[in-house]
């Protein structure tokens, strides 16, 4: 069929011209997004860097814009370094716990659940992932409160002594679960768990059934198959999930504000330097910690193949 | 066979309960008659807080601001994300990898870094806080969401469709309108819904770009830090959960259905 091209409008001429100039077409497509990303986001990152070379005037509390290394000198104090270490420990613990909790559900969904059940699982995991983060943190304030459901439940079961033992443990305890490091840890794991389940699920889904059959045919027991076939293929998925759980724990300041014993975390320190203290230069310099820790983490994760599993 | 995996089944359902009980708790507490503590079980149930929350001017103002910000950021993200995805689609050019890395950087770095970075730029440029400073913060990560969705869809769309369209005499706009757009529409709708839900819920970045303005998450956060009007907070929490779940369930249904039909 021949199209009736009686007139060629301006759009035809423009698109014809663009067709013969792929570079111009590329520039037009990329121009606006790049301008946005490089201009707004890249520019902000540069502003962040330059801000860290400013300092705060102790008397007036205003930002002094002469370049100095004073703020960086204030950054590497013992207390700030211990904040970074404590945050890294928490992020590591949360990541490991999330991997342990996520693996069985992902494994069950892939290996044993039928098509319908698998679709149901998928939605049931997505709902907590996408339903309001802030409200889910809040829900734990309701759950962990002294008069709340968890204490009520523990009381009904007569397990008070267990809870009291956990709360009186040094380092993780506190006056109540909602004011303890233990409670904080539970909430972190809860909030970021779906970010671990989905990549592990995706990695397990890519293990061909024929591998498992081959392994069984060659005489491997189920546990052997798991250890030598399934587990190595699941590691990239766990590594991919851990990027989320680790990075999100590292930068979070909402959970430490609402739940826990108010010991500072990296995110909380940045937040309060910026807000309460009004020391934007130190807050900017403080982002050095999460950026460097994440950089190291991403480098390691890449080596174990996390990016192929994202 | 089934008995063998009893432990696995139990732990699976336990994890699902762990994920969903807190959301159910939020639903329950919106109806409690108690106004100052979190007693379980609630001493009584009532609907009165819904009316009181609806009449609260702060809540309505915050809700309206959040909806306007999310809508604006989503539109910007869809336009810029689609353009970036189209640019890197089936093309090799210098800096292509850098472009795709840079687009996802805002979601790879911890949110607080993005937040402080934008706050630094605002301070450096002496830009007054406004509706648009919030929108810019949200659009930076929303672009990444839109880009990811559209780029994934385009990877599964054959380039020869466009060549066929051009051979049949369609101009660039017609090809986009009648060939490419129908192909990527599900990705646009799903990406748009995700971007909207994320923006509506965002607090980490917003804190640094909002100044004195209150979005709904900022209102919730401030009423958690300084507990006041607990019943209203409970109702708002339930409302926000409902409002974010509905688009997500729709979006997953949408992408699944189209994947089924297009193979």
**pLDDT tens string A88-136:** 999 999 999 999 999 999 999 888 888 888 888 888 888 888 788 888 9
Structural domain total, chain B: 1
Question: A123 and A29, same structural domain?
Answer: no
- Asked if A243 and A160 sit in the same domain, the reply is yes
Q: Do residues A89 and A162 both lie within one domain?
A: yes
**Could you tell me how many CB contacts below 8 A there are between chain A and chain B?**
254
User: Are the beta carbons of A43 and B237 separated by less than 8 Å?
Assistant: no
Domain identity same for A145 and A34:
no
- The minimal CB distance from B120 to the residues A127, A284, A291 is found for A284
Quote the domain boundaries for residue A33.
15-64
Average pLDDT score, chain B: 83
Q: Say yes or no: A186 and A41 in one domain.
A: no
Verify whether the Cβ–Cβ distance A51 to B120 is below 8 Å. Answer: yes
Residues A243 and A263 in one domain: yes
Quick one: average pLDDT of B195-210? 89
Cβ contact A190–B19 (<8 Å): yes
Question: What tokens were used for A109?
Answer: 């969904």
In a domain, B71, yes or no: yes
Residue B194 has pLDDT above 90, yes or no: no
Per the domain annotation, does B52 fall within a domain?
Answer: no
User: Which residues 177-196 of chain A have a CB within 8 Å of chain B?
Assistant: 190, 193-194
Mean of pLDDT values over B63-85: 92
Q: Considering the domain boundaries, does residue A5 fall inside one?
A: no
Alpha helices by DSSP H, A20-132: 22-34, 43-51, 70-75, 78-111, 115-130
B209, part of any domain: yes
Which of B116, B162, B167, B201 should be substituted to probe chain A, the one whose Cβ sees the most A Cβ atoms within 10 Å? B116
Cβ proximity of A144 and A183 under 8 Å: yes
Average pLDDT estimate for A266-270: 90
- Is residue B7 in some structural domain? no
Residue B231 is encoded by which pair of tokens? 């019943």
Residues of B in contact with A148 (CB under 8 A): 38-40
B178 touches chain A (CB under 8 A): no
- Judge: B112–A271 Cβ closer than 8 Å, yes or no: yes
Q: Are A101 and A193 in contact (CB under 8 A)?
A: yes
Q: 64-103 in A: which are within 8 Å (CB) of B?
A: 101-102
> A 136-155 residues with CB below 8 A of B?
136, 138-143, 145, 147-149, 152
CATH number of A185's domain: 1.10.3720.10
pLDDT one-digit tens code per residue, B108-132: 778 888 899 999 898 888 889 999 9
Residues A268 and A146 grouped into a single domain: yes
Report the pLDDT averaged over residues B223-240.
Answer: 84
Q: Considering the domain boundaries, does residue A290 fall inside one?
A: yes
Taking CA atoms, what residue in B is nearest to A250? B110
Which residues in chain B have their CB less than 8 angstroms from residue A15's CB?
Answer: 171-173, 175
The answer on pLDDT for A192 being more than 90 is: yes
Domain match, A106 and A251 both: yes
Residue B147's domain is classified under what CATH number?
1.10.3720.10
What are the structure tokens assigned to A92, written together?
């590591």
* Domain membership flag for residue B50: no
Q: Same domain, yes or no, for A144 and A109? A: yes
A283, pLDDT greater than 80: yes
Of residues B12, B91, B123, nearest to A108 (C-beta): B12
Of A104, A108, A147, the CB nearest to B40: A147
Q: Is residue B199 part of a domain?
A: yes
Nearest CA in chain B to A153: B40
Tell me whether residue A258 is in a domain.
Answer: yes
Same domain, A30 and A82: no
> Is A174 in contact with A261 (CB distance < 8 Å)?
yes
**Same domain membership, residue A151 and residue A55:** no
User: In degrees rounded to 5, what are phi and psi of residue B11?
Assistant: -70, -35
Determine the residue of chain B that is closest to A151 in CA distance.
B40
Domain count, chain A: 2
Same domain, A136 and A214: yes
Question: Is residue A166 in some structural domain?
Answer: yes
Using a CB–CB cutoff of 8 Å, tell me whether A43 touches chain B: yes
Partners of A63 in beta bridges: A56
Please tell me the least confidently modeled range out of A74-88, B48-62, B100-114: B100-114
Whether B250 is in a domain gets the answer yes
Residue-level pLDDT at B260: 39
- The whole-number pLDDT of residue A175 equals 77
Q: How far apart are CA B216 and CA B224, in angstroms?
A: 12
Q: Apex CA B195: angle with CA B130 and CA A121, to 5°?
A: 145
In a domain, B10, yes or no: no
Q: Which domain holds residue B205?
A: 57-262
């Amino acid at each position: 069929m021949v199209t009736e091209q009686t007139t060629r409008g301006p759009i035809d001429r423009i698109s014809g011209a663009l067709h013969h100039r792929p570079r111009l077409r590329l520039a037009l497509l990329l121009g606006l997004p790049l301008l946005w990303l490089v201009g707004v986001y890249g520019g902000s990152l540069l502003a962040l860097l330059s801000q860290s070379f400013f300092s705060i005037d102790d008397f007036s509390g205003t930002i002094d814009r002469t370049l100095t290394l004073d703020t960086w000198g204030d950054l590497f104090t013992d207390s700030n370094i211990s904040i970074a270490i404590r945050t890294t420990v928490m992020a590591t613990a949360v990541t490991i716990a999330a991997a342990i909790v996520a693996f069985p559900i992902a494994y069950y969904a892939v290996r044993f659940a039928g098509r319908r059940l698998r679709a149901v699982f998928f939605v049931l995991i997505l709902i907590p992932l996408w339903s309001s983060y802030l409200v889910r943190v809040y829900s734990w304030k309701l759950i962990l409160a002294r008069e709340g459901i968890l204490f009520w439940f523990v009381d009904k079961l007569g397990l008070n002594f267990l809870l009291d033992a956990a709360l009186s443990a040094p380092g993780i305890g506190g006056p109540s679960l909602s004011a303890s490091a233990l409670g904080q840890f539970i909430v972190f794991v809860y909030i970021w768990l779906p970010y671990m389940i989905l990549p592990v699920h995706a990695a397990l889904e890519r293990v061909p059934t024929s591998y498992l059959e081959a392994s069984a045919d060659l005489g491997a027991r189920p546990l052997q198959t798991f250890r030598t076939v399934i587990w190595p293929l699941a590691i990239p998925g766990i590594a991919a999930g851990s990027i989320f759980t680790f990075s999100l724990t590292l930068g979070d300041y909402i959970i430490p504000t609402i739940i826990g014993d108010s010991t500072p975390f990296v995110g909380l320190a940045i937040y309060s330097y910026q807000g309460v203290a009004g020391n934007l230069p130190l807050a900017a310099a403080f982002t050095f910690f999460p950026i460097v820790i994440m950089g190291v983490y991403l480098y390691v994760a890449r080596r174990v193949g996390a990016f192929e599993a994202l | 066979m089934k008995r063998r995996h009893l432990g696995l089944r139990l732990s699976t359902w336990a994890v699902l309960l762990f994920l969903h009980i807190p959301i159910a708790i939020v639903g329950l507490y919106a109806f409690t008659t108690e106004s100052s503590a979190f007693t379980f079980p609630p001493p009584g149930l009532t609907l009165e807080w819904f009316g009181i929350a609806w009449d609260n001017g702060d809540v309505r103002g915050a809700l309206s601001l959040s909806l306007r910000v999310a809508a604006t950021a989503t539109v910007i993200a869809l336009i810029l994300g689609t353009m970036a995805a189209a640019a890197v689609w089936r093309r090799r050019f210098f800096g292509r990898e850098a472009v795709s890395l840079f687009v996802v950087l805002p979601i790879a770095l911890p949110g607080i870094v993005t937040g402080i970075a934008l706050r630094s730029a605002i301070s450096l440029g002496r830009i007054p806080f406004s509706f648009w400073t919030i929108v810019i913060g949200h659009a930076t990560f929303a672009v990444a969401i839109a880009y990811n969705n559209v780029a994934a869809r385009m990877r599964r769309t054959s380039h020869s469709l466009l060549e066929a369209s051009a051979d049949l005499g369609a101009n660039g706009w017609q090809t986009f309108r009648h060939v490419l757009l129908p192909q990527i529409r599900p990705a646009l709708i799903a990406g748009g819904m995700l971007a909207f839900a994320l923006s509506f819920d965002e607090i980490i970045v917003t804190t640094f770009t909002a100044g004195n303005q209150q979005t709904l998450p900022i209102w919730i956060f401030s009423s958690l830090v300084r507990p006041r009007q607990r019943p209203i907070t409970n109702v708002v929490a339930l409302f926000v959960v409902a409002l974010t779940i509905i688009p997500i369930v729709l979006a997953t249904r949408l992408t699944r259905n189209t994947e089924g039909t297009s193979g």
